[in-house]
Amino acid sequence: MSFASSGGRLGRRQFLGGAAAGLVAGTASGAAAQGQGPLQGALQVPAWTREQGEGVASPPYGVPSPFEKAVGRRPRTKPAFPTAASTGTPLQDLHGIITPSGLHYERHHAGVPAIDPEQHRLVIHGLVDRPLVLTMNDIARFPSVSRLWFLECSGNTPQWTGGSAKWTVQETHGLISCSEWTGVRLSTLLDEVGLRPQGRWILAEGADGAAMSRSIPLDVALDDALIAYAQNGEHLRPEQGYPLRLVLPGIEGNMSIKWLRRLKVGDQPFQTREETSKYTDLMPDGTARQFTFVMEAKSVITSPSGGHQLRDKGFYEIRGLAWSGRGRITAVDVSTDGGATWRRAELQAPVLSRCLTRFRLPWTWEGGPALLQSRAVDETGYVQPVRQQLVDVRGVNSQYHFNGIQTWKVEPTGEVSNAA
Ligand code: CO
């Protein structure tokens, strides 16, 4: 929902231009025709101020305003099989960096299992000195940590060969979300079981109907990885792995195994379906890159973005998100002319490693065509590439790990569409 039409207090700079100035001055409207300016009309006490509101605890677990019912997760395409599907986060409707838990993107391979936490167990075995079977109560007793991290599906932004002009940012970039995760560090549990020196890889297996399984190299497992039971202050949502999931910061989302039931330490990768047939990157010479884990620096403008309609010329705040699987974002540059010139955006604190970073830039739309782009730089010095730079190296068959610069096209009519 846009609040752009609400009259705000104007500072020295008139952000809302003529429309708001006219509002305060009392230009013609229905109210004015009845001998009242809009100011007098807006000062009248509305119906909901004349009566008592809803009582407390209705419902006990609060839900968004009914006026926000258009905000929700949606699939980009109709899934071929309903339990093997994905839905995107509505980035165009969100503010700040935290994704509400109920709007976190989904990617399931056999639906969402209904797991009783009393019966759930985590087994840690393989090349360890003391194999363990842990209950949820056992896991809750270990020292806990909380981390703000993004999760991004490596299939996010399927634009290797371009995308549909009709796609919104939910459809181009919605397979990213950001949460505060709380749980036990994986390294804490590995200390508890006693990792043997030959241990190099860890198989993580989910309790869903797909038994989703991935091989995690030891350096990733020891790099702050979490066995999480909470998200944004409450227990995980069922669709996010309740009651237990792996969370690997900066790593393709598929490896952060949900409904985690087993960790097996081995001396080599386990070559599961999800790292041989799927989640590999097909190169132009016919070979496939395997074990491409890190999500490289990327950014996207969320407002204005595909499907938006600019109504009036004048001030707009360009807003967007940037992130890097390799650390902090250090800069985001924004272009309104398709990359001919760039301006540095303001980064909203906190700017955290492997977390979403919110950026903003003031812009005056003169009413002509514009091509809006953002370009992220991370603390390693890596600069988000244009699509051609990616294609030159990887061809167009990769399917996964597209992090090219996104272009939104603004028409003189104010219509905004995907120009990737
Ligand atoms: Co990959």
C-alpha 45 to ligand 1 mean position (Å): 57
C-alpha 251 to ligand 1 mean position (Å): 8
CATH class name, domain 298-418: mainly beta
Specify the pLDDT at position 35: 62
Specify the pLDDT at position 188: 98
Which tens digits make up the pLDDT trace of 113-144? 999 999 999 999 999 999 999 999 999 999 99
C-alpha 199 to ligand 1 mean position (Å): 22
C-alpha 249 to ligand 1 mean position (Å): 14
208, pLDDT greater than 70:
yes
Q: How much is the average pLDDT of 223-241?
A: 97
Strand partners, 320: 301, 359
Residues of the chain with CATH 3.90.420.10: 86-289
C-alpha 394 to ligand 1 mean position (Å): 13
Q: Is the pTM of this model over 0.85?
A: yes
C-alpha 125 to ligand 1 mean position (Å): 26
C-alpha 52 to ligand 1 mean position (Å): 55
C-alpha 281 to ligand 1 mean position (Å): 7
C-alpha 312 to ligand 1 mean position (Å): 42
Structure tokens at 327: 């650390």
C-alpha 280 to ligand 1 mean position (Å): 6
Confidence band for 6, pLDDT divided at 50, 70 and 90: very low
Specify the pLDDT at position 18: 53
Residues of the chain with CATH 2.60.40.650: 298-418
C-alpha 398 to ligand 1 mean position (Å): 10
Q: How much is the average pLDDT of 156-164?
A: 94
C-alpha 157 to ligand 1 mean position (Å): 13
Task: Please give the share of the chain, as a percent, with pLDDT higher than 90.
Answer: 87
Instruction: Assign a CATH topology to domain 86-289.
Output: Sulfite Oxidase; Chain A, domain 2 (3.90.420)
